[in-house]
Structure 1
Amino acid sequence: MKREIKKYPDPVLKEKARPIEAITPEVRALAEDMLETMYESEGIGLAAPQVGESVRLIVVDVTGPEVRAEPRVIVNPEIVCSEGEITSDEGCLSVTAMRSEVCRSATCTVKGLDLDGNPVEIAADGVLSVCLQHEIDHLDGVLFIDRISRLKRTLYDAKVKKWQRQGKKA
């Protein structure tokens, strides 16, 4: 089932998500809904807080949104190693009408669990590395706009306030 994507400045996007204690049927259903939501929204990654669930769960598929060949679900993901630096153009399904250059680690290693409770380790570079870092940031209440220049952020915040006064969704 496709879920509503929470938009900035929804408070759930600023919360630190809580760890998932047990992989239940509800967690599996949430992961399935998140994949469907991500694909239907033409994204390559989605974190549970973006659909209003403040738990540590992400889904990614950098082959998407057209191909959908490598869906990955990671429970309680954490970055255990990162190296180098890369600047890339980022956007976000929760941050409407904004893209910006963001500096991140060029490579990262992420550990977590799959939906069967098995350990998962992903050594990533390129788009996958950026996507994993972006989604894990969401679990810590950090948006990509928290990583851009103060000027760009101020301009975006002013645009969002204007939309809110006009009754438009950000």
Structure 2
Amino acid sequence: MITMDDIIREGHPTLREVAKEVSLPPTEEDKKILNSLLDYVKNSQDPDTSKKYGLRPGIGLAAPQINVSKRMLAVHVKDNKGKLYSYALFNPKIISHSVETAYLTSGEGCLSVDRAVPGYVPRFSRITVKGWNVDGEEIKIRLRGIASIAFQHEIDHLNGIMFYDHIDQENPLQPIEGAVPIDR
């Protein structure tokens, strides 16, 4: 089981690397890692489990955050209508996206960042992601809102990008012109 001690923090060189593609079909070891990413996110959202193991709640986790520089991520989040998006993917790619952008009004946080970083992070409003599930089956998912933002945040980790790299350093809290504000 992944704990907070397994999650590397900003400044660690792995977080700035471009992660390697996972060979498909996946090995048993890669399947185990992918499943453990999803387990962490689910466990971190359960009040009893997160308290028992000292887990910081999160909605997504990428393999580089546990010092595994491979293209794997997990997202477990409900949208504002209560629809659950729970995915663990190998080699996820954004294959299309909207022109329209969006941002979280509360800003973004990260399990690898132990400080609050104020600022709005511009993201695509809608994306389509292609990846492979734990069984090596290709899947395509259309995402919007918080699920779209979570996937973009985690895919950034696979490319060595931190969420705060996107924040306007001059005016971090200036609403992003033409973008849809999303309350969370």
What are the Cα deviations for residues 87-122 of structure 1, in whole angstroms up to 9, with x where unaligned?
A: 212111111122431111000000011111111101
Q: 1:138 to 1:75 in 2, by over 3 A?
A: same
Look up the SS of the partner of 1:116 in the other structure.
Answer: coil
Structure 1 stretches of 4+ with a deviation exceeding 4 A read none
Counterparts of 1:8-47 in structure 2, within 5 Å, are 8-22=10-24, 23-38=26-41, 39-40=43-44, 41-47=56-62
What are the Cα deviations for residues 59-79 of structure 1, in whole angstroms up to 9, with x where unaligned?
A: 001139xx9x64311110000
TM-score by length of 2: 0.76
Match of 2:142 among 112, 123, 140: 123
TM-score by length of 1: 0.82
- Whole-angstrom distance in 1 between the partners of 2:75 and 2:142: 14
RMSD: 2.0
Aligned residues: 150
Match of 1:61 among 76, 85, 89: 76
- Whole-angstrom distance in 1 between the partners of 2:69 and 2:58: 19
How far has the Cα of 1:123 moved from its partner? 0.4
Identity of aligned residues (%): 35
- Whole-angstrom distance in 2 between the partners of 1:5 and 1:37: 10
Q: Which runs of 5+ in 2 are unaligned?
A: 45-55, 173-184
User: Which has a greater percent of helix?
Assistant: 1
